[in-house]
């Protein structure tokens, strides 16, 4: 193989490696920032949890908080059933 071809292959490999490294750093920073925002949102949701609020669970089930007892929350759903769930199962307060 001619030396010129080997130099071109090496140069393009270095450029590709640098590009992948930069993309990896950007992805890592972006994931960290999004994760931090999500953690702050859920910390606020779980802190503000109080009886009378309409909430949504991760699976899309809606209900009204009847009682908050530590990490356990009693929620009444439309059928009238009372559910005991972890406060961390609640994804959104409406």
pLDDT digits (tens, 9 = 90+) for 24-60: 999 999 999 999 998 898 888 888 889 999 999 888 8
Q: How far apart are CA 75 and CA 84, in angstroms?
A: 6
* pLDDT given for residue 1 in this prediction: 63
Q: How far apart are CA 14 and CA 20, in angstroms?
A: 10
Query: Token match 């961390």: residue?
Result: 88
The mean predicted confidence, pLDDT, of the chain is 90
50-94 CATH, one of 3.40.50.300, 3.30.420.240, 3.30.565.10, 2.30.30.60: 2.30.30.60
Q: What is the dihedral of CA 31, 37, 40, 41, to 10 degrees?
A: -120
pLDDT digits (tens, 9 = 90+) for 56-94: 988 889 999 999 998 899 999 999 999 999 988 888 888
| Cβ burial, residue 85 (10 Å; 0-12/13-18/19+) | middle
């Amino acid at each position: 193989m001619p030396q010129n071809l080997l130099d071109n292959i090496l140069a393009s490999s270095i450029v590709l490696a640098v590009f992948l490294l930069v993309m990896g750093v950007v992805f890592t920073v972006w994931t960290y920032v999004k994760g931090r925002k999500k953690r702050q949102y859920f910390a606020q949701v779980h802190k503000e949890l109080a009886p009378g609020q309409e909430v949504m669970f991760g699976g899309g089930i809606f209900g009204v908080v009847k009682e908050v007892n530590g990490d356990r929350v009693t929620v009444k759903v439309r059928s009238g059933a009372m559910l005991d769930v972890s406060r961390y199962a609640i994804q959104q307060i409406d």
